[in-house]
Structure 1
Amino acid sequence: MTDRPFYVLLGPDGAGKSSVMAEVAARLPGWRTLSTDDAFLEPSHALLGALRRHVVEDVLPNLGTSYSADFLASLLQTAVVHLKDQVERQDGNAPLLMDSYYYKILAKCRLAGARQNPMYTWWRSFPRPRAVLYLDVSPATAWRRSAAGARLNPLEHFGERPEWLGFEDYQKSLRKLMLEEVRDVPVTIIAEQPSVARTTDAVLEVLAP
């Protein structure tokens, strides 16, 4: 366990977490932001971005044939362990805002077919955040942000192709599983806002009132 203060920004696909994290970093220079997205990765951690691209380009198109759901979960665990390692290496008392932690990955692994896996017990033993900030967004808004499915990958919708009904059903299921996973952690739900700036304002009211 760690007593270093950290918070988790969580939300469905298309919630705008990366944009909000960039805005938080600009407005709260004393805070550290942590994500496995390429824009936030240090050069020494470029491997994580490469692995994510291989998951999208090589594994997901062949999931259920060449690769199993458990194999997918094993690859995604690299991101989970990286986030844990970064929390435990945090210096001093500088607060940290983290993208999703293991919560979203675990939910997506379950939706991909890896419903039970011994890794999940380990993930759930990781340090707990002080709070989770859940960016709520309607599936309709997220669908619009994805250019009507053009920017989606297979871990963001049900069905072979990105269609509205499969996307809506997936996002509702994802939301349910993520909120179940954080039920024992303090959660603040940030209602959908009209802009990144307004969403960031709502997040900062919780992080730095």
Structure 2
Amino acid sequence: MPGNSLAFCVLVGPDYAGKSSALSRLRRSDLPWRILSVDDDQLAPEHALLARLRRDVVREVAGRAGAWSPDFLATMLQTAAVHLRDRLAEQPATPTVVDSYYYKLLAKARLAGADGSALLGWWRTFPQPRRVLYLDVAPEVAWQRSGAGAALNRLEHYGELPNWDGFRRYQNDLAKTMHDEISHLPVTVVQQQDDPDLTAESIRKVLEDELG
């Protein structure tokens, strides 16, 4: 991207698309890419606060309708977005793959009602990736992967309780919103595959071409 000196790509997709599984496989390989994520098992011990915050945001903020404003939710989600931005800046020349970056957080904040928050405009000024890899998944498959809703949290479906209709509508809206946020960037769609190893291999091939 013009004016972007950071050597990074972003992997994004709907909930239960398989990003974490694919990135775990890439991390275990001998490839020379740094992988950044706010998943619990990918955070350094000194950044464990983010894992605790994320659990509390889902349970205490998103899970209590009306108790907190959408702007407050966006403020809490911002901790993860800024963390990833800061980690990128530490090694700007190192080829890096970022899990979702701020795009998925921004989309979820928009769907929660924070569309007009100034915070979201600030996130959009963060350094932009060379390429976005969009890991696709059909809502029906994602629903199965969630244990028919058993594993869902409050930021993965519409309605107070998880059900297929609320999940399907939310995931379709999430996908549309994420596509809206990345529409100005080069995007490669990685089609849904049932084998995580095949998914990781498809991602690896795109990254090799892009990052060298």
- On the 8 A contact 1:131/1:185 being kept in 2, the answer is yes
Count of residue pairs the alignment pairs up: 207
**Whole-Å Cα distance in 2 between the matches of residues 54 and 117 of structure 1?**
21
**Which residue identity lines up with residue 139 of structure 1 in the other structure?**
P
**SS state at 2:50 partner:** helix
User: Counterpart in 2 of 1:130?
Assistant: 130
Alignment of 1:49-198 (within 5 A): 49-64=51-66, 66-90=67-91, 93-198=93-198
**Whole-Å Cα distance in 2 between the matches of residues 61 and 154 of structure 1?**
6
1:30-82 Cα distance to aligned partner (Å, 9 max, x none)? 11110111011000101100100111221122132x21111111000000000
**SS state at 1:113 partner:** helix
Instruction: Tell me the percent identity.
Output: 50
Instruction: Kindly state the Cα deviation for residue 155 of structure 1 after the two structures are TM-superposed.
Output: 0.5
**SS state at 2:114 partner:** coil
- On the 8 A contact 1:73/1:109 being kept in 2, the answer is yes
**Whole-Å Cα distance in 1 between the matches of residues 64 and 200 of structure 2?**
38
**Which residue identity lines up with residue 109 of structure 1 in the other structure?**
A
**SS state at 1:133 partner:** strand
- On the 8 A contact 2:6/2:127 being kept in 1, the answer is no
1:83-111 Cα distance to aligned partner (Å, 9 max, x none)? 110111116x3210000011000100011
- On the 8 A contact 2:135/2:189 being kept in 1, the answer is yes
**Whole-Å Cα distance in 2 between the matches of residues 136 and 179 of structure 1?**
11
**Whole-Å Cα distance in 2 between the matches of residues 127 and 97 of structure 1?**
14
Instruction: Kindly state the Cα deviation for residue 2 of structure 1 after the two structures are TM-superposed.
Output: 5.1
**Whole-Å Cα distance in 2 between the matches of residues 194 and 43 of structure 1?**
32
**SS state at 2:9 partner:** strand
Give the unaligned 5+ runs of structure 2. none
User: Counterpart in 2 of 1:8?
Assistant: 10
- On the 8 A contact 1:149/1:164 being kept in 2, the answer is yes
1:104-141 Cα distance to aligned partner (Å, 9 max, x none)? 00100011111211111111110010100000000001
Give the unaligned 5+ runs of structure 1. none
**Which residue identity lines up with residue 53 of structure 1 in the other structure?**
R
Q: TM-score, normalised by structure 1?
A: 0.96
User: Counterpart in 2 of 1:27?
Assistant: 29
Q: TM-score, normalised by structure 2?
A: 0.94
- On the 8 A contact 1:7/1:129 being kept in 2, the answer is yes
**Which residue identity lines up with residue 134 of structure 1 in the other structure?**
Y
**Which residue identity lines up with residue 149 of structure 1 in the other structure?**
G
**Which residue identity lines up with residue 47 of structure 1 in the other structure?**
L
Question: Any runs of at least 4 consecutive aligned residues in structure 1 with deviations exceeding 4 A, and if so which?
Answer: none
**Whole-Å Cα distance in 1 between the matches of residues 112 and 17 of structure 2?**
20
1:156-184 Cα distance to aligned partner (Å, 9 max, x none)? 00111110011000000000000110011
**Which residue identity lines up with residue 157 of structure 2 in the other structure?**
H
- On the 8 A contact 2:13/2:100 being kept in 1, the answer is yes
- On the 8 A contact 1:2/1:88 being kept in 2, the answer is no
